[in-house]
Structure 1
């Protein structure tokens, strides 16, 4: 079912001269459907005379800036970042104006996937009407006294550090969310929100405001009504729930069918996941079906990690990063837990290396450029791939190089097991991840180091800069790598410098961002990089001084023994 809402709001000054309430809502633009929709209401504090401006700027900045946050962020994280920035700006203004005069309440609602997220400060309110039941979703931050209810305990702009209440819940078709200012909820009982007119959300909001004014409200009266007519694609929590409930398919053989897909080949079996090539019986198109190995069927963490991969792939589908990723194919009413991706003819760069079919320098630079561009887009979404290597780079027959396998990627919302996993291929992991006893967690530069190792390997005809590291070993970085041109004379000097910079033992010498890496590749020989300096012996081996001192001591003792025994007295 498509995401569909009916939103209406009404705001009147009532008996006051100025309306200091403000409300707004925004639906996603084309390509941003996964972000959902946002609605917000604010009630400016009249003391000081700038409450209207505070309410208007707070709501406007929130609903506009929300769609500028990465899709991979949790909704509450996105809201918190924006509200904190707005609060800091208002608080700074208020500190220069005594007394503080730009304060406002705020209640914001985001509907996304199958759930809702709520942010709340002050005494505006949010209600959920589900069937005949009316539930208040917010708690007033005001004095608990009949004569002091207008005295707020929290407000946007009051303090440099703002504590915001966040809550999340499941959304259903037919739900009605009602956001109101205190000019409405102080004079209307909660049950009134459960008997709204059924024509439109706009008619319902108008009816609430009219009822509040008729009941004697002496404040600004604002009401926003959001009716849920259709829900969007599943969010992460929805996918995790399905992952735990659906069965894992048995190991399939060629010719077996599942939900309209017929298995044509078993592509890979790593003991954790199974990857099949399947054909859609309706469209006759080929797809890749990924499922947990039956031996992992009872592993809740593996299920959660595969659900996270599905969520991440779906989020990337609406971003520019999708150009170099394999698209996730939706399978409604699946009878088991699995993922279906589009199938692309071609081969991985590892398969090219295994066939000892060398790539030309121009071809290698083109591949590295595409990967750097794809990583830049992932990193701007807050995603760390963690397993960049030739085996996960697929050169399609359509000329597009695609980055495979988001199974161990980090997004900030991955399961704890995935975050704690020392994931990746050892030969492509940066030195910082091997530091003992405190290894550094992977970051964007980890992906760039892995890309550098891949670039070096493709240029050096399969040679790795620091040699192959087996899974049960630790990385060895005791020497600086030799230039790729030592293994392949066709590699130009400028490309030597890029590869050596990318795989430098010193993190400070490497590329900091994918954009910097990409710029170096695009400039090429026109603006070459300088050769990275060699790593001093002491930095390569912190015990070098002790080893040298020991060697000198041994030599002196040998000479002393020789002198005592053999030289004439």
Structure 2
């Protein structure tokens, strides 16, 4: 990737049993290879097994080894926060479960835990218990965590929060900026309970770049100061941050040239161009044939209009990166090219058929089941993307393929938001491609944080259009650009355009099309479930038409209208 590498750190860590017979502290640091260093970051973990717990040592070791192993097994498209919290919750449940073998949970597998994850130009900190994380910058030592402990007198305290102490884990999270020269210190209470912040700062500053000597000195001084606990510390100095030079980024982005204008019969890296499928101002699609594999692919090439635009090139490169990480039968497959590419392009699976937009022209106002046969697979494809912390952001009929074999696939990753990539800073202004206005959720237009509920909104627009032949909100969505404008539009029932639409289905649409994302379904699967199964909540009076709720008032209104019409005709 163009943003690989650049993060360099000096590290040191020390641990000692001190005056105790057994060392119940555990610590570990992992600096992965270049790809994972970029997408997952470098990790430092320190844990202090609770002395009062019979399995404190085992708990601390499990926290460190388990986190370092499992964190790097999470998808690299996930954000740091999501990845870490998933792993921490699983570790906590395991520790708590093991602790149930003891009469009291606090006597079982209990440990403090502090984690620093360095990704791009940010330190993501996770903390529970009374171990600590400090940052030394410009001669100032700052404690970045707070102790979860309650003093009970005579220098004693008990933990109010720890790993394995309760089935529900409450972890502090903080994102701290990182600068070259910063030194991060992770320590257990055997050190920071006897050494002041000022003294620890002085020791680290006195030893300069020699972190090994600084770490050993911290342990020695704490022991000499009367520490009667295990002593552990980790020191991490930031020597360099990734991609601070825009020129370096541009050189990486332009390592492959744009392809020349392509036409039928031309050969690119052994792939025969058969025909142009689609062309837009931003890209071209070609049907190509690989004679070696005897397969057809779709080749997507960048538009020559952007050959000197680094933001566009980055967005194009990320499309294939995203596509290769979404594994779903309902999302188009991105294929590794048979040869090392000599130009900038990527390949996806070729699936002959129609776009949903073309299908809708041939099948206006389809039956509910025909609509569901298409929408349910699309929703499953979106779920696969959302599980990867990836939001499509441009769900529309032209980005859904209805194959000749009946298979439904989501295509085009040009507008995708990936939480894990959004955390990686680059010294260029990123290309933010908004979805098509008439299918976009209001939060896209208003520049708010992306979420899966925005894709749900777009899917609901498509359902409304399939069943009614009309756009929701009377087609006024695409003209709204402000909060005030969105507040002025009102949902018009799908039943008005198509009386065959069931009341409960229209109610589900109304909820999924809420202007405020908080009022929509929590997940797209819940929306689709209500499309397939009549929700009894939607059969209540407030969701029924007036004729059903109050037939007397309805006919009274009709009679009054007819009387006024008759009176008007007599007075003419």
Question: Which category describes the TM-score, using the shorter chain as reference length?
Answer: 0.5 to 0.7
Match of residue 466 from structure 1: 474
Residues 433-478 of structure 1: per-residue CA shift (max 9 Å, x gap): 445xxx5343222111111111100111254443166689887664
1:248–1:336 contact (8 Å) kept in structure 2: yes
Relative to the length of structure 1, the TM-score reads 0.59
Alignment match of 2:291 (pick from 281, 289, 294): 281
Match of residue 450 from structure 2: 442
3-state DSSP class of the match of 1:315? coil
Match of residue 87 from structure 1: 127
Match of residue 548 from structure 1: none
3-state DSSP class of the match of 2:347? strand
Alignment of 1:407 with 2:417, yes or no, is no
Structure 1 distance, partners of 2:523, 2:429, is 24
Structure 2 distance, partners of 1:16, 1:476, is 66
1:520–1:528 contact (8 Å) kept in structure 2: no
The alpha-carbon distance between structure 1 residues 329 and 489, as it changes in their structure 2 partners (threshold 3 A), is: same
Match of residue 335 from structure 2: 329
The alpha-carbon distance between structure 1 residues 396 and 13, as it changes in their structure 2 partners (threshold 3 A), is: farther
Alignment of 1:493 with 2:496, yes or no, is no
Match of residue 311 from structure 2: 301
Alignment match of 2:438 (pick from 427, 438, 444): 427
Give 1:355 deviation, angstroms. Answer: 3.6
Alignment of 1:18 with 2:22, yes or no, is yes
Q: Alpha carbon RMSD of aligned pairs, Å?
A: 5.0
3-state DSSP class of the match of 1:324? coil
Match of residue 527 from structure 2: 517
The alpha-carbon distance between structure 1 residues 316 and 88, as it changes in their structure 2 partners (threshold 3 A), is: same
The alpha-carbon distance between structure 1 residues 42 and 480, as it changes in their structure 2 partners (threshold 3 A), is: closer
Structure 1 distance, partners of 2:325, 2:210, is 28
Residues 247-285 of structure 1: per-residue CA shift (max 9 Å, x gap): 111121011110111111111111111111111121121
The alpha-carbon distance between structure 1 residues 17 and 62, as it changes in their structure 2 partners (threshold 3 A), is: same
Relative to the length of structure 2, the TM-score reads 0.59
Match of residue 253 from structure 1: 263
Which one is further off, 248-257 or 47-56?
A: 47-56
Please list, as runs of the form range in 1=range in 2, the aligned pairs for 1:112-511 lying within 5 A after superposition. 122=186, 142=215, 147-148=220-221, 243-317=253-327, 322-331=328-337, 332-355=339-362, 357-412=364-419, 413-414=421-422, 421=432, 423-435=434-446, 439-467=447-475, 478-511=488-521
The alpha-carbon distance between structure 1 residues 18 and 433, as it changes in their structure 2 partners (threshold 3 A), is: closer
Residues 352-382 of structure 1: per-residue CA shift (max 9 Å, x gap): 1234554321011232222223223322322
Structure 1 distance, partners of 2:210, 2:369, is 59
The alpha-carbon distance between structure 1 residues 167 and 430, as it changes in their structure 2 partners (threshold 3 A), is: farther
Give 1:514 deviation, angstroms. Answer: 1.5
3-state DSSP class of the match of 1:449? helix
The alpha-carbon distance between structure 1 residues 144 and 291, as it changes in their structure 2 partners (threshold 3 A), is: farther
Residues 124-159 of structure 1: per-residue CA shift (max 9 Å, x gap): 9xxxxxxxxxxx99878737579438799xxxx99x
Give 1:101 deviation, angstroms. Answer: 9.6
3-state DSSP class of the match of 2:63? helix
- List runs of 5+ in structure 1 lacking aligned partners: 1-10, 27-31, 105-118, 125-135, 171-237, 535-569
Structure 2 distance, partners of 1:487, 1:94, is 62
Give 1:120 deviation, angstroms. Answer: 7.9
Structure 2 distance, partners of 1:166, 1:520, is 51
Structure 1 distance, partners of 2:313, 2:26, is 44
The alpha-carbon distance between structure 1 residues 282 and 504, as it changes in their structure 2 partners (threshold 3 A), is: same
Structure 2 distance, partners of 1:75, 1:479, is 38
3-state DSSP class of the match of 2:533? helix
The alpha-carbon distance between structure 1 residues 399 and 90, as it changes in their structure 2 partners (threshold 3 A), is: farther
Which one is further off, 68-77 or 257-266?
A: 68-77
- List runs of 5+ in structure 2 lacking aligned partners: 1-14, 31-35, 89-114, 117-124, 132-146, 163-182, 189-208, 243-247, 545-572
The alpha-carbon distance between structure 1 residues 464 and 518, as it changes in their structure 2 partners (threshold 3 A), is: closer
3-state DSSP class of the match of 1:245? coil
Residues 483-519 of structure 1: per-residue CA shift (max 9 Å, x gap): 2233233322222222222223454443232232133
The alpha-carbon distance between structure 1 residues 60 and 44, as it changes in their structure 2 partners (threshold 3 A), is: same
Residues 13-35 of structure 1: per-residue CA shift (max 9 Å, x gap): 99995355758999xxxxx9x99
The alpha-carbon distance between structure 1 residues 309 and 456, as it changes in their structure 2 partners (threshold 3 A), is: same
The alpha-carbon distance between structure 1 residues 243 and 327, as it changes in their structure 2 partners (threshold 3 A), is: farther
The alpha-carbon distance between structure 1 residues 292 and 168, as it changes in their structure 2 partners (threshold 3 A), is: farther
Match of residue 63 from structure 1: 68
1:345–1:396 contact (8 Å) kept in structure 2: yes
1:445–1:512 contact (8 Å) kept in structure 2: yes
2:24–2:60 contact (8 Å) kept in structure 1: yes
Structure 2 distance, partners of 1:60, 1:253, is 55
Structure 2 distance, partners of 1:19, 1:469, is 63
Residues 159-192 of structure 1: per-residue CA shift (max 9 Å, x gap): xxx998779999xxxxxxxxxxxxxxxxxxxxxx
The alpha-carbon distance between structure 1 residues 396 and 14, as it changes in their structure 2 partners (threshold 3 A), is: farther
